[in-house]
């Protein structure tokens, strides 16, 4: 799947969602909220990360709502497993806290969004739609924490011996990637660069294609690691 929102679901097909949480009440609440939406279908529920990976491999959901803290296999490890077997699945992490370590590890694992569990239940369907369309679901406070982590990572990677040359991005693509690293969404990037949102989406899609990645934040992590970006 590309950042433009292309997926196995078309305009006539609902967004297929897998819900993963070890608390049945939370799973039920999320399922009820999503089931009320005509363009969203809950295709499965899992109570731990191990079950989540098995279900994702079989059901191939478009989006997974993933609890961070679970028995047997936590959400971050489950995210790695799902992204390895079903790369097109976009994953929204669910958590009661916004600890920087969890946030950064989730993004490195391949998560596209991050929701606190105190979010209004009515906001969850729009979050699913946004992530399915290629948006990164990270609020400004979380984005600020990510920037701090990226800056720390950048300093550490500066001490590492050079690796193989990274894929070449155009100057405009690098501009877009730098703004993504600052936590900007497509609308904000478009305004900053005086271009259309569709043009931003095209640039992001090209970046992901060149880097062979599946999400904006994965691209930032890769770019910092390979010294394509320096964040201070």
Question: Does the pLDDT value for residue 165 go beyond 80?
Answer: no
CA distance 217 to 22: 26
Secondary structure (3-state) at 37: coil
**Cβ-contact 137, 131 below 8 angstroms:** yes
Secondary structure (3-state) at 42: strand
DSSP letter, residue 188? H
Cα distances from 41 to residues 44, 125, 217, in angstroms, run 9, 11, 26
Q: What integer pLDDT is reported at residue 175 of this predicted model?
A: 94
Q: What integer pLDDT is reported at residue 2 of this predicted model?
A: 40
Of 77 and 229, which is predicted with more confidence? 77
> What are the φ and ψ backbone dihedral angles of 44, each rounded to 5 degrees?
-175, 160
Average pLDDT, the chain: 82
pLDDT tens per residue across span 132-147: 887 777 765 666 666 6
CA distance 211 to 229: 14
Domains along the chain?
Answer: 15-137 (3.40.50.2300), 144-225 (3.40.50.2300)
Q: In the predicted model, what is the mean pLDDT of residues 189-202? A: 93
Question: Does the pLDDT value for residue 17 go beyond 70?
Answer: yes
Report residue 6's pLDDT band, with 50, 70 and 90 as the boundaries: very low
CA distance 21 to 117: 11
pLDDT > 70 fraction of the chain, expressed in percent and rounded: 79
Of 102 and 65, which is predicted with more confidence? 65
């Amino acid at each position: 799947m590309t950042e433009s929102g292309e997926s196995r679901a078309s305009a006539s097909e609902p967004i297929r969602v897998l819900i993963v949480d070890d608390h049945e009440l939370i799973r039920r609440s999320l399922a009820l909220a999503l089931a009320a939406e005509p363009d969203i279908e809950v295709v499965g529920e899992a109570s731990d990360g191990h079950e989540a990976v098995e279900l994702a491999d079989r059901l191939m959901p478009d989006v997974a709502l993933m609890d961070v803290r679970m028995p047997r296999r936590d959400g971050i490890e489950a995210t790695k497993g799902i992204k390895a077997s079903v790369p097109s699945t976009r994953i929204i992490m669910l958590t009661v806290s916004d600890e920087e370590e969890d946030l950064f590890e989730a993004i490195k694992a391949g998560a596209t969004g991050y929701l606190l569990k105190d979010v209004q239940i009515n906001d969850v369907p729009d979050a699913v739609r946004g992530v399915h369309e290629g948006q990164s679901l990270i609020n400004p406070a979380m984005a600020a924490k990510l920037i701090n982590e990226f800056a720390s990572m950048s300093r550490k990677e500066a001490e590492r011996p050079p690796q193989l040359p990274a894929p070449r991005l155009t100057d405009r693509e690098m501009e877009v990637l730098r703004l993504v690293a600052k936590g900007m969404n497509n609308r904000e990037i478009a305004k900053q660069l005086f271009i259309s949102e569709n043009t931003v989406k095209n640039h992001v899609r090209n970046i992901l294609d060149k880097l062979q990645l599946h999400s904006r934040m994965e691209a930032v992590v890769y770019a910092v690691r390979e010294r394509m970006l320096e964040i201070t």
